[in-house]
Amino acid sequence: MASPASTPRPPTDSPPYTPKIAVLGGYPTVEEDVPISAVFMLLFLLAAVGHMTIFIRNKKRGHKFLISGAMFGFCMARNLACILRIVWAAEPSNVSVVIAAQLFASLGDIFGYVINLIFTQRILRAAIPYFGWRRVPSFAFIFVYGLLFLSASLLVGFTVGAYYTLDKEFLKASRDISIYGSTVFATTSVLPLFILPAILAVRTRAHEENFGHGSLLSKVVIVLFGTMTMACGQWYRTGTTYANPHPRAHPALYQAKGAFYVFYFTMDVVVIWSYLLLRMDRRFWVPNGSSGPGDYSKGWEDDRVRLSLVGRDGEDAIYKIRPMESHTSLTLTAAADAASENLVRVFAYRLCDVEHGGETPLEEMGSAREAPV
């Protein structure tokens, strides 16, 4: 995130003062930014409706999955960022809108980082339950969540304060905090990329548990994809924060509008819609009250064939075990499941060197498929 503190500004009538440096994406205009932001706003809004619909329907059937609510918050934070950018384009002299637009654009991805870490922690507890449930890894995740909250709070405070002062010392401190905050976000965004491969390397099938729908390897692949996509955007933004500031009239090439929309909103759209279509509420659901080894697998055999899906008349739809050759009867969700499981085969045979004794990973897991609606 570009800090307004990067260069001294000449005095104006009163604070908040207009920024004098270039920012990633430049300063929006009605002709260019309003149509693009409106498209992204619609995509985030539709995704928010999808996640909240799943959350409400699952809640009515006792299928508690709060992450769907967090995904709704993620979508709405990004939706608000698009709205503020449109308002900024319409009122370029309103510095308060500028502040809000930059903050929401920079901080919205925290939802995604926390969600990916929660998924990673569940995979850790399932793959290595005797370690994943211990206090040290549990406190480590809590520490990361707290560090994210603290860093975001500092970033908000110093960024807003920098628009209301001309003190050089405070402006320098604001830039330092901006660099610190971006570094924390970038580091957090890639943590699953180190944790998940380590889990696959040390796990033992004798103690491994499973939860939700799909194999453990398919869950790893999906979270790795989401993590890499979001980390790509965050690391680009962090790099622009470290770069020397440019005058507002002469922005750098890496601060172009195209870079802003790709590395801010496009990456998020890909992850948000992927998690919606792949039905993470089925894949990463764990039994309520899980608190130790064995809790994830407790009742899993029943839950994997009845995951509170909505049927034709509002009744719960029941998963039915069916042969893989009947692909024409798969719904969109089941087709996505099949694609991810096929990708897992490559990981199983090529990367993990898993022996299946003539059976495919899908057959080993006894994967459940959705009955056609």
Domain end marker among 283, 315, 332: 283
Query: Which among 277, 269, 254, 284 is positioned nearest to 108, based on CA atoms?
Result: 269
Q: Determine the pLDDT at residue 146.
A: 96
DSSP string, 179-191: HHHHHHHHHHHTH
Q: Determine the pLDDT at residue 203.
A: 85
User: Is 318 contained in some domain?
Assistant: yes
Strands 309-310 and 316-317: antiparallel
* Residue 279 sits in the same domain as residue 306: no
Identity of the residue numbered 129: P
* Residue 339 sits in the same domain as residue 227: no
User: Is 9 contained in some domain?
Assistant: yes
In the chain, which stretches have pLDDT less than 50?
Answer: 5-12, 304-333, 344, 346-373
Q: Determine the pLDDT at residue 210.
A: 82
Q: 15: which DSSP letter?
A: S
Q: Determine the pLDDT at residue 361.
A: 43
* Residue 235 sits in the same domain as residue 353: no
Give pLDDT tens digits for 1-20. 655 544 444 444 578 888 88
User: Is 370 contained in some domain?
Assistant: no
Each residue of 8-34: b (16+ CB within 10 Å) or e? ebeeeeeebbebebbbbbbebeeeebb
User: Is 230 contained in some domain?
Assistant: yes
* Residue 269 sits in the same domain as residue 361: no
Q: Determine the pLDDT at residue 356.
A: 43
What CATH number should be reported for the domain holding residue 160? 1.20.1070
* Residue 260 sits in the same domain as residue 308: no
- Could you give the number of structural domains in the chain? 2
* Residue 184 sits in the same domain as residue 248: yes
Q: Determine the pLDDT at residue 26.
A: 87
User: Is 91 contained in some domain?
Assistant: yes
The boundaries of the domain holding residue 317 are 300-365
* Residue 186 sits in the same domain as residue 322: no
Q: Determine the pLDDT at residue 338.
A: 54
